[in-house]
Chains A and B, each alone.
Chain A
């Protein structure tokens, strides 16, 4: 009984995480802040769903769920870093307020726009 209700609660928590992630991916102003929502929050939601499934499932499902969670934890930072690096190399500007470009590339919102003869 307790396990069933724990499963339900964890499933609702995972759904809330995924909903917040998708909402942030729509609502954030530039791609650097969209990466936060779309990579971290959605993966946390999927892993919470996997944990909620681990409570009631049998052994074969639990092993596959552990494998899936570890795979997602390992691969998501790599792919989101590749997307962020691609956005930096494309020189997309940061649109959120108060940003600082520490690399000196002049991509923050308060910097003057890049002259067209550069790069």
Chain B
């Protein structure tokens, strides 16, 4: 991998990260904010992958893996809490029976 490509990719991905952060701040609804946070964590994972490949160490990839898992769990919990008011659904089918076939 050439150094030019690496530095260009690093700067470009930092710009993407800043754009995603601005999107998180300027989102209109809570669900759009959650979605933008998910995309931001994905960009962070890509940044860690790039850095770990360039330096040849695998420790950054553990951080990337944990960040991917935590962003998945937090997105799921926040979206379900925002839509239903609770993270785990109750088992009875009457909870959301009048809200369409979902």
Contact = CB atoms under 8 A, between A and B. Distances in A.
Contacts of B84: 86, 89
A60 interface: yes
A38 B65 contact: no
Given A8-B1, A12-B5, A103-B101, A42 B79 contact: no
A50 interface: yes
B42 A43 contact: yes
A22 B41 CA distance: 12
Contacts of A68: 45, 49, 61, 64-65, 68
Interface residues of B, number: 48
Nearest to B77: A82
A92 B34 CA distance: 15
Interface in B79-102: 79-80, 82-84, 96, 98-102
A67 B83 CA distance: 31
Contacts, number: 152
A92 B29 CA distance: 10
Chain B interface mostly helix, strand, loop or mixed?
Answer: helix
Interface of B: 1-2, 5, 9, 12-13, 16, 19-20, 23, 29, 31-32, 34-36, 38-39, 42-43, 45-46, 49-50, 52-53, 56, 58, 61-62, 64-65, 68-69, 72, 75-76, 79-80, 82-84, 96, 98-102
Interface residues of A, number: 54
Name the residue in A12, A42, A43, A78 with the highest tally of chain B Cβ atoms < 10 Å from its Cβ.
A42
A91 B4 CA distance: 48
A61 B46 contact: no
